[in-house]
Structure 1
């Protein structure tokens, strides 16, 4: 969880301003967008959906 809610943040592993996702946590949802094209749209997930996604990433469900 970020130090501040309702604020966009980049992953800690972001380097050189490359294309990454920005994430923002609010009381009701988790918002995700492209940091280089924030006007292109935002995906919105419930906290429960985000928790399932993060657990899947940690378990290797999305490894190529």
Structure 2
């Protein structure tokens, strides 16, 4: 049996999480990290606060976000 994790869980309490970040990260501490959870959902955390809260998304939610990012829907947020 696995733990059920909800939004806001302290990221360092997610047992066995293998956090990964983009190779585009420059090491300046401004990285978003993701980890696959045992139930297939995806946790997201801020690398500057590794024990801070994690947001938890379904695969479908992550796919929608990635598709939107790929299509440039959020480009105005990075300018």
Q: TM-score, normalised by structure 1?
A: 0.81
2:27 alignment partner, one of 16, 34, 39: 16
Aligned match of 1:38? 50
Tell me how far 1:38 sits from its aligned partner: 1.6
Distance 2:27 2:35 in 1: 21
> What is the count of residue pairs matched by the alignment?
59
Aligned match of 2:65? 53
Distance 1:18 1:59 in 2: 26
User: Radius of gyration: which is bigger?
Assistant: 2
Q: TM-score, normalised by structure 2?
A: 0.67
Segments of 5+ residues of structure 1 without an aligned counterpart are 1-5
Which stretch shows the higher mean deviation, 42-51 or 10-19?
A: 10-19
RMSD: 1.3
Higher relative contact order (CA 8 A, sep 6+): 2
